[in-house]
Structure 1
Amino acid sequence: MLKKVFVKNYKSFKNETIIDLKATKYGFLEDTHVANGIVKGVVFVGPNSSGKSNAIHAISVLLDLLFIDRDIGLPLQMCLYTQENLELSYLFEIDQHDILYKMIFSRDGHVVSEKLCLDNQPLLTRLGQEAKTNITETDYYHGDSIAKNVLFLRTIYFNTQFSQFPVLKKWFSFLQNSIYWDFSNKRNVAFSPMVLNKLQDNISEEAVDRMNHFMKDSKIGYSLKYTNESMVGEYTTINLGNQKEFFVKKEGCDYWMPLYMESQGNKELIPLIPTILHIVNNDGMLILDEFNAASFHNELEELLIKYILTNSKNSQLIFATHSTNVLKTSLLRPDQIYAVDFKGNEGSIIKRFSSESPRQSQNLEKMYLSGIFDGIPNFREKK
């Protein structure tokens, strides 16, 4: 599980910023929202253009750097308010082992340094195009064997699969099970071809059955089938040829409606369900950008959040939203909520709700909107 993130000079985060997922003193929701002393998710709230998405991108960029087979344009993701290097560090806990991965990038996107430690013992140390490692049979690399703009850990993984290091192998399985979903730009990314195939390219009858069980258990009131042809009402048949589509039957209706004729909210919900079921059953991170842009009703937002946090074992939900209705102690703990502010040339800053020690009985949404946790727009009418 992701335990802590350190970021400096990434997008709007100029100063060193720590995103801490270690659980604090709160006792409520501990059985469902905490695993191994780590919260099973965090949400970022704040004004438009405060840096909420940048906060979750500081997490998803690790997945891009390790698994995406294209140039991710890293120089364009560096903070514009400074000429200093980009620094990223991630602390994970896997099977009670701490994995710390640090990296520094120059302004042109080249790797300045890279260090991987397992329980404080270095396994990989890189400076420029020189590296020492205990992971491979060869313990020293230099020159052209190390690409300037590629993480050497990525190279080692694809060459060895960490066959002699089960903890690292399980860590990378956690990372590759992760999914990034951008509701605003209608884009989602899976970081493993196997996961992508299961979720998008090869939807099985069994997968549709699981989706229908989810719908029934959640009392959403829809039935689904995945086919290329269906009767729509009594008089119309829709045939999609070789292409398959989800068809939706609502409770109390006799006809099946193709998904492309459904509401925007349902167009977002139905493809998301396999991802939710995947992350609940396979340890990883579900990263949801602009969750409020999904056109979901408030009650549906809360249902999905609760389902993921309650039913997952060691997975984590990380999302950004403008929906303040989710700020309640029946749904989230104060140590799962961060407010984000933008402070001019100093960039984005974050504040964890738990730093103000709110009680379980208090209304977090009301406290947030009154400004106690910061991270609210300042264009209110002054009295």
Structure 2
Amino acid sequence: MIIEFSYQNFRSFRDATTFLMKADAGKSKLDNTFIVEFNTGNSIQLLKTAVIYGANASGKSNFIRAFFALTFLIKNSAKFNIDQNQLITYEPYELDIHTINAPISFKIAFILKDIKYEFEIAYNKNRITYEKLNFSPKGQVSNIYTRIISEKENYDTIELGKNLLDKKINKKVFKNQLYLSKFGIETPHDELTPIFQYLSNINIWNAYDKFSISDLSKEIATSIAQPENKILKDRLSKLIRVSDTRIESIGSKELKKDNFKFPEEIPENVINDFLRANRFQTFAIHKLFDGKKEIGKTEFDFDRKESVGTQVLLALGGKILQTLENGGILVIDELDNSLHPKLCKFLIRLFNSKISNPKNAQLIFATHEVTLLDHDVFRKDQIWFVQKDKHGNSELYNAGDFEGIRDSTNFEVWYRTGKFGGNPEIKEIEFIYE
């Protein structure tokens, strides 16, 4: 579970920014929180969901992209060639001459197997400039490893902490690679590989990006086609059915080459790549009528015959149900895209419910939909806002920071009337046509 995520000098965020999933001392909506007991006897109360609001171009999506940049480097940097000239996730704040070439930094605090970990990195255009992994197995912070920066060699060295049990590992890493990344790609390790897996498995999706939704739909189609995932398929069918789509159930089937008509001039390797990418097809079962009389069922190709909103529901709903079943963290940009607000609230409540979220999975999402600002859905510590200052710098702040705010406050009214900020300041019509 995530406790805290901090970053600095990333895209529109110039200053040090901290996002928390730690609950405040409030006693309302305790189902929206959960308690983790550490092996030391101490405990921490965390939130199951958090929402981020802000005007267009305020920085909401950049907040989501910060998660993506960190996890991308963890998942992929061990594959970077030594001669790779630029880290593609290096996107600093470019409206200040002091930051335009400065390092980007990330820090994430999380809990894995009831132990708290902290992972910190910094990097510039060409190399990793800082990397450290700490944990607190006995309550006190202890270092697992620290990166030692070399100014002369084309690689850095690693200093291992005293509490790392298996020290028979390579202690060198190329300058453009994260050391942690090596333990999910080339070097198995009983202590470090689970940390790599945990952080790299943070799921990040953009509901507004049709390519992202298409990729996610293919992933869900592959999952529900497997017999061992029958429970997921049945729950997804129920979710789509209760969403008033008039779909009775959904399924997925494997397609063969004969199911497609390829022009003769297309090379075989291109055909094979296409078949691998489109191996499974999702279908929807609808009732078939003769006038008003139901006479059977009929099958629809999900991608060709269902609405965009229903396709988004299949993709996001499938991923949400997977996350609830397995545990973990799901981060979504534009959750409300093509989905009715009531349906969005329902999906959020799936995370806040003890029945549907027994493993305490966490959902973090950005949205414009103000009707989700319902005090029956959120506590004040679950609500965040992003707003740009006069320098174009994005600032992230929590609803709980405001004086007079309570968990019973009408959050939507406060937001609509500008008490929280985060709303666009739109000039009058005359400004455009003067």
TM-score, structure 2 as length reference: 0.75
Cross-structure match for 2:88: 73
Q: Secondary structure at the match of 1:268?
A: helix
Cross-structure match for 1:292: 336
Whole-angstrom CA distance in 2 between matches of 1:112 and 1:344: 30
Provide closer, same or farther for how the CA distance between residues 317 and 10 of structure 1 changes in structure 2, counting only shifts above 3 A: same
What is the CA deviation profile of residues 19-54 of structure 1, one whole-angstrom value per residue up to 9, with x for unaligned ones?
111101222221244343111122111000000011
Provide closer, same or farther for how the CA distance between residues 324 and 249 of structure 1 changes in structure 2, counting only shifts above 3 A: same
Q: Secondary structure at the match of 2:174?
A: coil
Q: Secondary structure at the match of 1:248?
A: strand
What is the CA deviation profile of residues 113-144 of structure 1, one whole-angstrom value per residue up to 9, with x for unaligned ones?
11111111111111321221244524783xxx
Please say if 1:43 is aligned against 2:51: yes
Please say if 1:184 is aligned against 2:199: no
Q: Secondary structure at the match of 1:292?
A: coil
Cross-structure match for 1:93: 111
Provide closer, same or farther for how the CA distance between residues 361 and 45 of structure 1 changes in structure 2, counting only shifts above 3 A: same
Give 1 or 2 for the bigger CA radius of gyration.
2
Please say if 1:351 is aligned against 2:389: no
Q: What are the equivalent positions in structure 2 for 1:268-347 lying under 5 Å apart?
A: 268-293=312-337, 295-310=338-353, 311-312=356-357, 313-345=359-391, 347=393
Cross-structure match for 2:2: 2
Whole-angstrom CA distance in 2 between matches of 1:40 and 1:255: 39
> Which ranges of structure 2 fall in alignment gaps of 5 or more residues?
37-44, 81-86, 150-155, 262-274, 290-296, 430-434
* 1:224 Cα deviation from its structure 2 partner: 1.1
Cross-structure match for 2:11: 11
What is the CA deviation profile of residues 207-244 of structure 1, one whole-angstrom value per residue up to 9, with x for unaligned ones?
35533334436723531122369xxxxxxxxx669854
Whole-angstrom CA distance in 1 between matches of 2:253 and 2:222: 14
Whole-angstrom CA distance in 2 between matches of 1:161 and 1:332: 41
In 2, are the aligned partners of 1:308 and 1:317 still within 8 Å (CA)?
yes
* 1:342 Cα deviation from its structure 2 partner: 1.1
Whole-angstrom CA distance in 2 between matches of 1:6 and 1:225: 41
Among 220, 224, 247, the residue aligned to 2:250: 224
Whole-angstrom CA distance in 2 between matches of 1:160 and 1:244: 33
Please say if 1:118 is aligned against 2:121: no
Q: Secondary structure at the match of 2:15?
A: coil
Please say if 1:379 is aligned against 2:403: no
Structure 2 residue identity aligned to 1:321: T
Among 145, 148, 155, the residue aligned to 1:127: 148
Whole-angstrom CA distance in 2 between matches of 1:31 and 1:353: 19
In 1, are the aligned partners of 2:232 and 2:322 still within 8 Å (CA)?
no
Structure 1 residue identity aligned to 2:349: K
Provide closer, same or farther for how the CA distance between residues 199 and 318 of structure 1 changes in structure 2, counting only shifts above 3 A: same
In 1, are the aligned partners of 2:64 and 2:333 still within 8 Å (CA)?
yes
In 1, are the aligned partners of 2:67 and 2:204 still within 8 Å (CA)?
no
Whole-angstrom CA distance in 1 between matches of 2:196 and 2:28: 31
* 1:353 Cα deviation from its structure 2 partner: 0.8
Provide closer, same or farther for how the CA distance between residues 275 and 88 of structure 1 changes in structure 2, counting only shifts above 3 A: same
In 2, are the aligned partners of 1:35 and 1:314 still within 8 Å (CA)?
no
Provide closer, same or farther for how the CA distance between residues 155 and 282 of structure 1 changes in structure 2, counting only shifts above 3 A: same
In 2, are the aligned partners of 1:351 and 1:374 still within 8 Å (CA)?
no
What is the CA deviation profile of residues 91-124 of structure 1, one whole-angstrom value per residue up to 9, with x for unaligned ones?
1122332211111112x14111111111111111
In 2, are the aligned partners of 1:179 and 1:188 still within 8 Å (CA)?
no
> Which ranges of structure 1 fall in alignment gaps of 5 or more residues?
190-194, 230-238
Whole-angstrom CA distance in 1 between matches of 2:254 and 2:4: 45
Q: Secondary structure at the match of 2:180?
A: helix
Whole-angstrom CA distance in 2 between matches of 1:228 and 1:59: 34
* 1:206 Cα deviation from its structure 2 partner: 4.6
Please say if 1:245 is aligned against 2:245: no
Cross-structure match for 1:236: none
What is the CA deviation profile of residues 326-355 of structure 1, one whole-angstrom value per residue up to 9, with x for unaligned ones?
111211221111110011425100110111
Structure 1 residue identity aligned to 2:393: G
Please say if 1:212 is aligned against 2:251: no
Whole-angstrom CA distance in 2 between matches of 1:198 and 1:47: 31
Provide closer, same or farther for how the CA distance between residues 99 and 369 of structure 1 changes in structure 2, counting only shifts above 3 A: same
Structure 2 residue identity aligned to 1:299: K
Whole-angstrom CA distance in 2 between matches of 1:296 and 1:110: 41
* 1:252 Cα deviation from its structure 2 partner: 7.9
Q: Secondary structure at the match of 1:152?
A: coil
TM-score, structure 1 as length reference: 0.84
Please say if 1:150 is aligned against 2:172: no
Q: Secondary structure at the match of 1:211?
A: helix
Please say if 1:24 is aligned against 2:31: no
- Kindly tell me the number of residue pairs found equivalent between the two proteins: 359
Whole-angstrom CA distance in 2 between matches of 1:366 and 1:251: 42
Cross-structure match for 1:34: 34
In 2, are the aligned partners of 1:175 and 1:284 still within 8 Å (CA)?
no
Structure 2 residue identity aligned to 1:121: S
Whole-angstrom CA distance in 2 between matches of 1:200 and 1:179: 17
Structure 1 residue identity aligned to 2:179: F
Whole-angstrom CA distance in 2 between matches of 1:358 and 1:124: 42
In 1, are the aligned partners of 2:147 and 2:159 still within 8 Å (CA)?
yes
* 1:173 Cα deviation from its structure 2 partner: 3.8
Structure 2 residue identity aligned to 1:43: V
Whole-angstrom CA distance in 2 between matches of 1:240 and 1:204: 22
In 1, are the aligned partners of 2:221 and 2:281 still within 8 Å (CA)?
no
Please say if 1:103 is aligned against 2:121: yes
- CA RMSD after TM alignment: 2.9
Whole-angstrom CA distance in 2 between matches of 1:173 and 1:371: 41
